[in-house]
């Protein structure tokens, strides 16, 4: 069964499951079934989604502080609170953002949300076909590749298997972007524990993909880019102080990270 925008409602979607875990409404029963496994059978695991989202907000704020005025959000997922363009435009009103995702429902909802936006758009594309993204008319309309770009891979590259070479995707954009461009990656982080095995097993069984990687493997994804302080750390600990003007951890006090919060890590790097 498919709806009028070509979405197969009999199969779960990574983007819609993530939307459900964050409290969104753009999901189907099949997505909620997967999400409820994480909520009910792996109690506490939903913290991964929230920790990742809050770190993304801080990353976009940090990019704007460092002068980035245009963004490519790779594997953006469904619109939710504090989208990249909303965060960026709080600091830089004319910031330009292109959202990229392969899920048709992301395209439909994104276009509805952005109907009146002149500096933000969404395209449906496969991250493993970066040449198509680079040549897309909407990308070329908004993104000036002669100027620094903020390239965002938020909870995206862990959905690529090793044989799909996620590092090559990052290398492509590192070649195509101007010096001064910033790259943000958040990624499932292997804890070599029961929680990692359970969550990874669920994703592999449901979607046929989902790869938890070690810190060394995640750092390798950045290639030759210069890793900025504080390096690769758990999302809940990344840039949580206010000297940069970035927000602190949203909705959370200072506390020791749970085992689940430790399973999503992030870092930012610069092209010199």
Strand pairing report for 233-234 and 264-270: antiparallel
Q: Which long-range contacts (CB under 8 A, 24 or more apart) does 10-15 make?
A: 12/206, 12/207, 13/103, 13/105, 14/77, 14/103, 14/159, 14/207, 15/77, 15/78, 15/101, 15/103, 15/105, 15/106
User: What does the pLDDT read at residue 8?
Assistant: 65
Contacts with 11 (C-beta within 8 Å, 6 or more apart), sequence order:
30
Structure tokens at 189: 């982080």
Structure tokens at 112: 């509805």
Q: How far is CA 84 from CA 62, 88, 143, 197, 230, in A?
A: 12, 6, 15, 31, 22
User: What does the pLDDT read at residue 196?
Assistant: 79
Q: Could you report how far apart the first and last alpha carbons of the chain are, in Å?
A: 49
Distance CA 173, CA 122 (A): 18
Fold of 14-270: Rossmann fold (3.40.50)
Q: How far is CA 193 from CA 52, 68, 196, 199, in A?
A: 20, 38, 5, 10
Low-confidence ranges of the chain (pLDDT < 50): 1-2, 4, 242-254
User: What does the pLDDT read at residue 63?
Assistant: 97
Q: How far is CA 120 from CA 1, 9, 100, 104, 173, in A?
A: 32, 28, 11, 18, 20
Q: Is 173 in contact with 204 (CB distance < 8 Å)?
A: no
User: What does the pLDDT read at residue 244?
Assistant: 40
Q: How far is CA 100 from CA 74, 107, 125, 184, 254, in A?
A: 5, 8, 6, 15, 33
Three-class SS of residue 182? strand
Distance CA 115, CA 121 (A): 9
Q: Which residue has the tokens 């498919």?
A: 2
Distance CA 124, CA 55 (A): 24
């Amino acid at each position: 069964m498919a709806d009028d925008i070509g979405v197969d409602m009999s199969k779960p979607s990574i983007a819609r499951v993530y939307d459900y875990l964050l409290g969104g409404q753009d999901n189907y029963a099949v997505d909620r079934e997967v999400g409820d496994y994480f909520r009910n059978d792996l109690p506490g695991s939903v913290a991964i989604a929230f920790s990742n989202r809050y770190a993304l907000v801080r990353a976009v704020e940090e990019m704007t502080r460092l002068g980035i005025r245009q963004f490519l959000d790779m594997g953006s997922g469904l619109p939710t609170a504090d989208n990249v363009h909303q965060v960026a435009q709080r600091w830089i009103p004319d910031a330009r953002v292109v959202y990229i995702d392969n899920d048709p429902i992301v395209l439909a909802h994104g276009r509805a949300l952005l109907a009146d936006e002149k500096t933000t758009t969404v395209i449906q594309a496969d991250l493993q076909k970066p040449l198509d993204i680079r040549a897309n008319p909407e990308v070329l309309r908004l993104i000036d590749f002669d100027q620094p770009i903020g390239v965002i891979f938020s909870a995206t590259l862990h959905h690529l298997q090793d044989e799909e070479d996620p590092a090559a995707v990052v290398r492509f954009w590192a070649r195509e972007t101007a010096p001064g461009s910033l790259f943000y990656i958040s990624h499932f982080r292997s804890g070599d524990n029961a929680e990692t095995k359970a969550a990874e097993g669920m994703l592999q069984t449901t979607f046929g993909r989902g790869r938890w990687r070690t810190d060394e493997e995640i750092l390798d994804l950045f290639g030759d880019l210069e890793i900025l302080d504080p390096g690769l750390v758990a999302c809940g600990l990344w840039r949580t102080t206010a000297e940069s003007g970035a927000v602190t951890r949203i909705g959370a006090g200072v506390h020791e990270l749970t085992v689940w919060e430790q399973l999503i890590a992030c870092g930012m790097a610069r092209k010199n």
